[in-house]
Amino acid sequence: MNPIEELAPQGVWRNFYALTQIPRPSGHTEKVAAFLVDFAKKNGAEAYIDEAGNVIMKKGATSGYEDRETAVLQAHMDMVPQKTKDCKHNFETDPLDVYINGEWVTARDTTLGADDGMGVAAAMAILEDDSIPHGPIEVLITRDEETGMEGAFNLQAGQLTGKYLLNLDSETEGEITIGCAGGMDVVCSMEYQEINVEAENMLCYNIAIKGLLGGHSGIEIFKGRANANKLMARILFATVNTKMAWLCSWHGGNMRNAIPRECEATVLVPKAQNEAFLKLIEKCKTTFIEEYKDIETNGFQLTVTPTPAPTKAVPEEVQENIINAMMAAHDGVLRYTPSMPDLVETSSNLAIINVADGKAEIICLARSSQDSMKLYLCNGLVGCFSMAGMKVSLEGGYSGWQPNPKSALVASMSDIYEKMFGKRPVVGACHAGLECGIIGVNYPDMDMASYGPTLVSPHTPSEACHIPSVQKFYDFTLEILKNIPKK
């Protein structure tokens, strides 16, 4: 038995460890979906995969609780596939290497998948334990939440009958979330005709940025962490746009909702400019370290490595337009909520850039709790990248989850938490995207709340789950189910 399976509550940790051994990056959830259906049926629950790829499991009430309203436990099965630069892990085939580090569980060189494997594991533990008192339960485990909430968007009305929904996808124990921001993907693309290059009097370098903290582009965007794509844009603006170098390729970021930790570009440098180029790169490195010395504490690295010269490069006008657009595009917090000055209202994440082989693609994720501000931000990004000659589309848009301050579920949960732990939970909204608002479109009468154990650095290889918080989270969930109102 792995030591993680022996942690308390054992049912949750045993099931979580089992999930870490099943590859489940966004876009590749077939194996974990089949695993969940098989698990549910072995434990006496009805289970099936709906047309959207979601797993739905249903279990009847325990004795004495047949008259209770139905409660829905909701989480998502996919995880963000992030790893360190030199890690060889294949998220589509390899199990995660998870281990205990003091009071935390983490994974070696990859994301842990506690977002939202912990929510899934808690629901599994409840389904398999016949001694837990509860009314009728429905479990909804959605597909591809991290890449656009596809499962939630395509969940059909009538699949669920529950009146109360517990979303198990928040990251701070002791907090209950009742609202969240909406989002929109800004997808920019273009094709260009590569030019032939004569590298005889050129030196070729790979410029690499790594070691940044990155993080969740919703819940950690306010921390002011460096965006590797933005830093690279500054380097290229100072070198390529001044004719000191020529751009051949540029790659950074791989998830729309993760702040980019790493980025690399290949450039050609005239031999006559080599000394000045290397000095400028060193100056950029010193500048960035100074700017982020109190934030980027993970060991920021900026390296320049000689590499074989390619035979093709990006045309001058194209490279300048893309670099200029990347410099001009907004990244980070745009506005805080006027009525709640500590809560981010509107932000963007300059998430992904790929420029190579005659194609350029840039993806930004815009978030806002105000639809008008989300549109304002998106239109600004559209204008910026359109001027660079790129085709821009807005995709996967969804409105925020509007808080219900009169929620009977939240009032009951707050009273239960205070009785159990001696203090009131923090109730509020968050800047991350949650599925509640999307699910609520087809289930407008469902009372919802989100909560979870404590996680740090989700969407990064530093992701970790706080062991003591899981026991509190699970005990809280059991007490909520025990107190679901009668019909």
Mean local confidence (pLDDT), 254-267: 95
pLDDT at 313: 96
Average pLDDT over residues 385-404: 94
Beta pairing partners, 267: 205, 247
Confidence of residue 340 (pLDDT cuts 50, 70, 90): confident
Q: Indicate if the pLDDT at residue 94 is higher than 90.
A: yes
Q: Which residues are catalytic?
A: 78, 145
Q: Look at strands 301-306 and 359-368 and give their pairing.
A: unpaired
User: Model confidence over 52-83: pLDDT tens digits?
Assistant: 999 999 999 999 999 999 999 999 999 999 99
Residue 453 in contact with residue 170, Cβ under 8 Å? no
Give the separation between CA 274 and CA 264, rounded to whole angstroms. 19
The model's pLDDT over 270-283, given as tens digits with 9 standing for 90+, comes to: 999 999 999 999 99
For residue 298, the model assigns a pLDDT of 87
Task: Return the ∠ at Cα 340 (arms to 336 and 344), rounded to 5°.
Answer: 30
CB 28 within 8 A of CB 92: yes
Which pLDDT belongs to residue 405?
86
Cis peptide before 9 (omega within 30 of 0): yes
Going along the chain from its start, the domains and CATH numbers come out as: 3-180+400-482 (3.40.630.10), 184-398 (3.30.70.360)
Determine how many CB atoms are found less than 10 A away from the CB of residue 304: 17
From CA 193, how far away is CA 195, in angstroms rounded? Answer: 6
- % pLDDT > 70, the chain: 100
What is the rounded CA–CA span in Å between residue 8 and residue 3? Answer: 11
CA atoms within 13 A on the CB side of 132: 25
Cβ distance 472 to 453 under 8 Å? yes
Q: Is 27 left (phi over 0), alpha (psi -120 to 50) or beta?
A: left
pLDDT at 200: 85
- Provide the 10 A C-beta neighbour count for residue 74: 29
Give dist(CA 96, CA 83) in Å, integer.
11
